[in-house]
A and B are shown apart, each in its own frame.
Chain A
């Protein structure tokens, strides 16, 4: 980090936090603190929804995913527009008319207190685990750039985010998200533009696409079906729809964003904006990863991108042989790529062969160091090749992404803790009392996030870890909401037993390795519905 990078970074972070706190200066009631007094316009909610989902992991890990695995990950989002339409038609009017603070309040209206409590606790466990992952990603950024220990970077990030979330509540979260999303878009555009600009003169974007395409990186649609293939058109459309329905319809960290809307129409528009904008955004992020791959076809990268892992590799007896093989394969690949971009199709076989050698060397190096450096590809590119000032914008964008996700998550965790758990136990307090408890709960979850982030660093590709974690619980939660909204004959016992059986099946699927995690949502949801309907038909007591 050079002086202008620091200037850009510090001004951006201070301005965003100050703006959020200024916009939320009237958060002096529980309703305003947790629901913004239902006053938010659609564009603020739309960018807040997008920013909450687009964490630092999106920048760091998704670009790495594009580099390592190609663009097929974008199919994961194909179900999102379908889910947004379904939610706009059903969940949005239901939640608005029920005038709830959390999605889980609706479950008590429809079923009973124990179902609401069970689903609230599942949310607290799942989102509580994910918030640590979300905080660990920016800690990786700061550690790589500043060389500070993980503990310091995690605590520094935690203090900033928890500070403005405790003070300003959901209004501070939404308005900072709004600004943070704009910074993210600027950072994304700057990165892609710079990645293209830095390509050798005779290569250009077309040459980069030729090289990345020949390596199998430009594959945003793969139609071959397999139950164990994580990302293809079918798992994206079906599994992705169920996952997006669960995340945007049943996860309080997202539901809370559009519950702040001033009307059903405003909330619907915020979701439909995401339906249109999300996939192109992910496409551009993955394309950036693919262009970075093309860049490193002509400029030699280290075997491993993480500095510490590379240092450890150098100490290994096998390092000399690996480095020699890597150097030779790089030269062969670069020569073949130059012929390929000049129109010589016969160079493709040599190019693919040398690429396989490089992949094999990286695989062996990762096995030696017991590391996964997918998350470090993008950071290595940014910090080693981009000019002063631009690095500051991109680091600001990554930190903005991180702050938006963490603030939304701890805000929603606090809301569920207070509304669905605490207020049920202690219902006689004044509004000022619940406002104070909400602030304390926000602070508690912030501290919890800082502590758990310490354990999340070595979980492989963070973006996959987060999605895998969500898939353990989303199918069950979606199933119970589907029962509540679309199966009027199902009673509370059926819903409760359905959730328990659904979760048991999902965990059984995971531990037997029967299918890819995207299908957990579909299968879990179906099991909950079938069990709920069956148990209700046996017990015959409809609860309404």
Chain B
């Protein structure tokens, strides 16, 4: 791989970064629902 190679998923690095952040938001949402469900 050269220094500026694209990531193996989603084509570009910015898209991969956004996907990671969306994943974080979903994870917090799921944990919030978990907290409320077992409170």
Contact = CB atoms under 8 A, between A and B. Distances in A.
Q: Which of B1, B3, B16 has the most chain A CB within a 10 Å cutoff? A: B1
Nearest to A213: B38
Contacts of B1: 262-263, 265-266
B35 A222 contact: yes
B38 A276 contact: no
Contacts of A269: 7-8
Q: Which of A85, A212, A219, A266 has the most chain B CB within a 10 Å cutoff? A: A85
A525 to B, nearest CB: 21
Interface stretch (A5-13, A74-82, A142-150): A74-82
A68 to B, nearest CB: 17
Contacts of B28: 78, 221, 233
Interface in B1-39: 1-8, 13, 16-17, 20-21, 23-24, 27-28, 31-32, 34-35, 37-39
A220 interface: yes
Contacts of A97: 3
B5 A263 contact: yes
A414 B19 CA distance: 37
Interface in A192-248: 209-210, 212-213, 218-223, 233
A264 B4 contact: yes
B3 A264 contact: yes
A192 to B, nearest CB: 16
A368 interface: no
A220 B20 contact: no
Nearest to A236: B28
Contacts of A221: 28, 31-32, 34-35
A81 B20 CA distance: 7
B33 to A, nearest CB: 9
A220 B24 contact: no
A502 B23 CA distance: 34
Contacts of B5: 263-265
Contacts of B8: 269
A96 interface: yes
B19 to A, nearest CB: 9
A280 B34 CA distance: 13
Contacts of A82: 21, 24
Contact of B17 (A89, A219, A233): A89
A219 B5 CA distance: 41
B28 to A, nearest CB: 6
B13 A81 contact: no
A209 to B, nearest CB: 5
A263 B32 CA distance: 38
B7 A220 contact: no
A283 interface: yes
B3 A96 contact: yes
A262 B13 CA distance: 17
Contact of A213 (B20, B23, B39): B39
A212 B6 CA distance: 45
Q: Which of A93, A233, A272 has the most chain B CB within a 10 Å cutoff? A: A272
Contacts of A283: 31
A263 B3 contact: yes
A279 interface: yes
Interface in A83-101: 84-85, 88-89, 93, 96-97
Interface of A: 74, 78, 81-82, 84-85, 88-89, 93, 96-97, 209-210, 212-213, 218-223, 233, 262-266, 268-269, 272, 275-276, 279-280, 283
11 contacts: A81-B21, A82-B21, A85-B17, A97-B3, A218-B39, A263-B2, A265-B3, A266-B1, A272-B20, A279-B24, A283-B31
- Rank and list the top 7 A-B pairs by shortest CB-CB distance, nearest first: A213-B38, A218-B38, A220-B31, A221-B32, A265-B5, A263-B1, A81-B24
Given A81-B24, A221-B34, A280-B27, 13 more contacts: A74-B31, A78-B24, A82-B24, A88-B13, A93-B3, A210-B38, A220-B35, A221-B31, A222-B35, A263-B5, A265-B5, A268-B13, A272-B16
